[in-house]
């Protein structure tokens, strides 16, 4: 099949594209190669993908609607996975304009393209941050999520609403997934695991926010990719409605958590990293940062009912896999 993936130079997009290419599919990657973090990392991911004969990349920003439409039309994808976004919770506090442009305008152009050039299934990335100030755990897709803590979360929640409106008005089968703290090889340098590893190996202290009492539902990248691949075959409709579904009553639209439902304390996560590196971190304990939430836990019930799968990789396997990649790439 032909898959169009936005954000293939990014962490998740790279892994998903590589999986689909290995499975024998054609992939068009769309990426602006934004300088938000190390461009060399993005270029190296892209070089690996270009080693597959069935991959091509369109270097453009989603905000450029005409260029994006032209690339979509020329490739004629059967399934589209929209992963590109301006990421980062704290970056959104100081650079809000980047989130309006990339996340809202960019996603609008994806939806407009799907309206004009329909596909079998449109799948779009959202985030566990969309649950915002919710405190009832685990987070369920049917929970109200109307109290975002950052502009990043607000823009992702807005794209969910936009996606529902387009699914209702134009009948595009649309699945949004809320990712829960994804980590693994080729991860982003602004994420905790990468920052912690870099500091520990340099003999520098790590900043541990919230006094170390925070917990996250960590999701290993291979598990997330497997879940997304399986969800591609479950375009939302009444025929595949399951118990406690988030399927819309008025649109071919569904929201699905991708997380394992097993929260891990931040200090346990750091401990696993210390064991993998063979070093002990000097910890600088600090208060919670603006926009952070103390805990996240996914309900994986809907995911399991739909695809008979949920993320299972423990941090005792996932963190060493990241460390192996990090040492190989950076020579520590």
Residues with active-site annotation: 152
Cα separation, 240 vs 234, in Å, equals 8
Tokens encoding 58: 């369109």
Cα separation, 172 vs 38, in Å, equals 35
Three-state DSSP state, 182: strand
Cα distances (angstroms) measured from residue 168 to each of 81, 160, 237: 19, 12, 12
Q: According to DSSP H, which parts of 181-300 are helical?
A: 192-201, 221-231, 266-277
Cα separation, 180 vs 296, in Å, equals 8
What DSSP string runs through 103-170? IIIHHHHHHHHHHHS--SEEEEEEEGGGGTT--SSSB-TTS-----SSHHHHHHHHHHHHHHHHHHHH
φ, ψ of residue 283 in degrees (nearest 5): -105, 130
Cα separation, 223 vs 188, in Å, equals 17
Contacts of 106 (CB under 8 A, 6+ apart): 6, 61, 62, 63, 84, 85
Cα separation, 50 vs 45, in Å, equals 9
φ, ψ of residue 311 in degrees (nearest 5): -60, 135
Question: How large is the angle between the packed helices 11-22 and 221-231, nearest 10 degrees?
Answer: 60
Let me know: does 251 contact 164? Beta carbons within 8 Å. yes
Cα distances (angstroms) measured from residue 107 to each of 4, 125, 137, 278: 14, 10, 29, 43
């Amino acid at each position: 099949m032909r898959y169009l993936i936005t954000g293939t130079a990014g962490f998740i997009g790279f892994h998903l594209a590589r999986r689909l290419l290995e499975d024998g599919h054609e992939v068009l990657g769309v990426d602006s190669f934004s300088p938000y973090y190390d461009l060399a990392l993005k270029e190296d991911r892209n070089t690996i993908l270009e080693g597959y004969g069935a991959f091509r990349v369109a270097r453009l920003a989603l905000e450029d609607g005409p260029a994006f439409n032209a690339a979509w039309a020329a490739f004629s994808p059967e399934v589209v996975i929209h992963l590109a976004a301006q990421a980062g919770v704290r970056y959104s506090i100081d650079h809000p304009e980047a989130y309006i442009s990339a996340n809202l305008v960019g996603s609008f152009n994806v939806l407009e393209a799907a309206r004009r050039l329909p596909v079998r299934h449109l799948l779009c990335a959202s985030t566990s941050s969309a649950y915002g100030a919710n405190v009832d755990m685990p987070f369920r897709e049917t929970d109200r999520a109307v109290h975002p803590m950052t502009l990043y979360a607000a823009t992702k929640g807005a794209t969910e609403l936009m996606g529902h409106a387009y699914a209702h008005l134009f009948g595009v089968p649309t699945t949004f997934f809320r990712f829960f703290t994804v980590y693994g090889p080729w991860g982003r340098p602004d994420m905790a695991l990468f920052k912690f590893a870099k500091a520990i190996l340099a003999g520098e202290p790590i900043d541990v926010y919230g006094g170390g009492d925070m917990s996250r539902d960590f999701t290993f990248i291979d598990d997330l990719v497997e879940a997304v691949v399986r969800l591609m075959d479950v375009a939302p409709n009444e025929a595949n409605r399951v118990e406690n579904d988030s399927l819309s009553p008025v649109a071919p639209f569904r929201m699905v958590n991708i997380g394992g439902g097993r929260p891990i304390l931040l200090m346990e996560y750091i401990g696993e990293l210390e064991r993998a590196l063979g070093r002990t971190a000097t910890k600088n304990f600090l208060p919670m940062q603006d926009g952070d939430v103390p805990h996240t836990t996914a309900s994986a019930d809907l995911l399991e009912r739909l695809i008979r799968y949920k993320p299972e990789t423990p941090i005792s396997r996932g963190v060493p896999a990241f460390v192996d990649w990090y040492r190989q790439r950076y020579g520590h």
